[in-house]
Amino acid sequence: MPQRPYEIDEMISAKSIAARIESLSREISTEFSGTDKLIVVGLLRGSFVFIADLVRELDLPIEVDFIEASSYGDGMESSREVRILKDLRAAIEGRDVLVVEDIVDTGHTLKHVMGMLRARKPSKLKSIALLNKAERREVDFKSSWIGFEIPDEFVVGYGIDFAQRNRNLPYIGKVRFT
């Protein structure tokens, strides 16, 4: 449970998120148009709402799988040590793969996961992040697609949590401590 009281100010509306996902899904469907099946890999837990909305918009045959990676725990700062808590169920060698992340800030988690998956020799490997905090980047990594660029603010909602709270908000909100 958070130690200090806080309020949440809406930053990106549910309507804006839905419109951006529709646009991104068209680009992704074009990129993977020749695939026999796209494996969409969600990074748990924060991406679950985003991945659900994204796959419903994709005009492709898909399979969904998940990886759970952790570098935050219940804190607000990345530990920079990426641990894989749950791995994929199926092999991806020779397959087309799209990794779905909620937010990229330092870049450590997504760079680590992409490197791990690249070593498994997929045919094509791309990534999408709903949110990007470029000013927080500590490693050289850029997602194939970005939903929204955001400033260095702590955010919640649309699957993203603060100490396991606020994932159920339909929008992205900025945490403001009171």
Type and span of the H or E element at 109: helix 108-118
What whole-number distance in Å separates Cα of residue 144 and Cα of residue 25? 13
51: helix, strand or coil: helix
**Coil/strand/helix, residue 9:** strand
Distance between first and last Cα of the chain: 15
Question: Does residue 46 contact residue 52 with C-beta atoms inside 8 Å?
Answer: no
Spatial distance between the Cα atoms of 62 and 95, rounded to a whole number of angstroms = 11
Q: Where do the DSSP E strands lie in 60-177?
A: 62-70, 83-86, 96-104, 124-132, 145-149, 155-156, 172-177
The catalytic residues are: 105
- Size (the chain), residues: 178
